[in-house]
Amino acid sequence: MLYQWYETQRALMAPFSEFASASAKLYNHPLSPFTHTPMAQRVSAGLDLMHRLAKDYEKPPFNLTTATVGGIEVAVQEQVALTKPFCRLLRFKRFTDNPVALEQMKSQPTVLVVAPLSGHHSTLLRDTVRMLLHDHKVFITDWTDARMVPLDQGAFGLDDYVHYVQEFIRHVGPNVHVMSVCQPTVPVLAAVSLMASAGEKTPLTMTMMGGPIDARTSPTAVNDLAVKKSHSWFENSVIYRVPQNYPGAGRRVYPGFMQYTGFVAMNPDRHVTSHYDYFLDLVRGDQESVESHREFYDEYNAVLDMPAEFYLDTIRTVFQDFSLVNGTWVVDKKPVRPQDITSTALLTVEGELDDIAGVGQTRAAHNLCTGIPKANQFHYEVEGAGHYGIFAGGRWREKVYPRVREFIATYDKSSVPKLASNGAAKPARAQAATRANGATTSRSRAKPAARKTSPRA
């Protein structure tokens, strides 16, 4: 019933939200007489804030139409490369008539970005894709809101996620570089492990960013909740059926609005401060800060429903049983053995201040992938970065992306034909001074940039 109540409340609030938006314009339009009344700016700002707090947020577009390749601007077209019931594989195809840029694009590496299925849409990685497009051919997983998937399409669990990733890797091609951000680091490692165990060609590289490979390490509030509550508690407390006004009516899901409540509850003071700053920016007429706030929250507030099977499988497998690190995870009666991966280079990236996947959780992948030569394992801890800072914003663009770009270029088939042999270098966990193609893989020593009060941290 909770989902139905939420939908009723949302429908009731919609006209009030639109009224607040119209009223806000009434008090700030230059031709309106109300604009010249006392406190008009504050009234308009307050009404605008009310509108944004009450409105319904739809999935935003990627809006990536151009990229710069070798200093030349090229066109970008979003294409659907593959469609599955619960996901679309998108390709950002680049076009140009410039022969120099065209030749350069043809030789650039192919990257498959596996976006998280953890509440937000894949557009949360817009900044990630935008930077990658300068130097790579880019594909990304675009997970479908479970409430939009008809019930006759069947269930979708964690094992299905693993199979999807495998299919996408095979579709893109053998010489692909896979990047996983947050939640998908676990199923991506499982997918590649199973491919290696079966004797299939695995991706050239894996870049894993801010994911719970070993959720026992540096536990966060997310990890603590999963451990303190039983599996049955999650099933009985947060799983609801989709209402009748959606194509997926009757499907069991973890609703997006409940996930959003959890996101905000992790840092309520930060969100309150951010909204108050937005109000003050409106009063002052600081349009740059206003647009920055709107852009962030248009993305942050747009959430999707997760299939119940996938969510509950993830809770049990990743956060309660720790099946991957304990070596007990079995997919379709086949054990997940990361140690079978031998020909894929590995880079892990963590944020020093990550409050979702604590420091050391992603780095644990190196202890599991013992078959990968130590010379082909790298780790980078981003000083001063929170969870979002490792894949979006200034730290991603200025610190993380250059490392990722050089790592991929180092192991792309056109750059380095062979991987190093076993025992050729120090273990990844002892690489304090190791450099990958000129980029240190230890913690960045650069002074962190100043940060505004924002959930982007």
Tell me the pLDDT tens digit for each residue of 218-237.
Answer: 999 888 989 999 999 999 99
pLDDT at 265: 85
CATH class for the region spanning 66-233+305-440: alpha beta
Over pLDDT 70: what percentage of the chain? 90
The pTM score is: 0.87
Query: pLDDT tens, 187-206?
Result: 999 999 999 999 999 999 99
**DSSP codes of every residue in 215-270:** TTSS--HHHHHHHHS-HHHHHHHS-EEPPTTSTTTT-EEE-HHHHHHHHHHHSHHH
Residue 247 has pLDDT above 90, yes or no: yes
- What does pLDDT average to over the chain? 90
pLDDT at 414: 53
Residue 454 has pLDDT above 50, yes or no: no
C-alpha angle 188/358/116, rounded to 5°? Answer: 35
| Residue 431 pLDDT level (bands cut at 50, 70, 90) | very low
**208 CA to centre of own chain:** 11
| Residue 444 pLDDT level (bands cut at 50, 70, 90) | very low
Query: pLDDT tens, 368-426?
Result: 999 999 999 999 999 999 999 999 999 999 999 999 999 999 999 754 434 443 333 33
Residue 133 has pLDDT above 80, yes or no: yes
**CA dist., res. 450 & res. 178, Å (int):** 31
How much is the average pLDDT of 148-175? 97
Residue 262 has pLDDT above 70, yes or no: yes
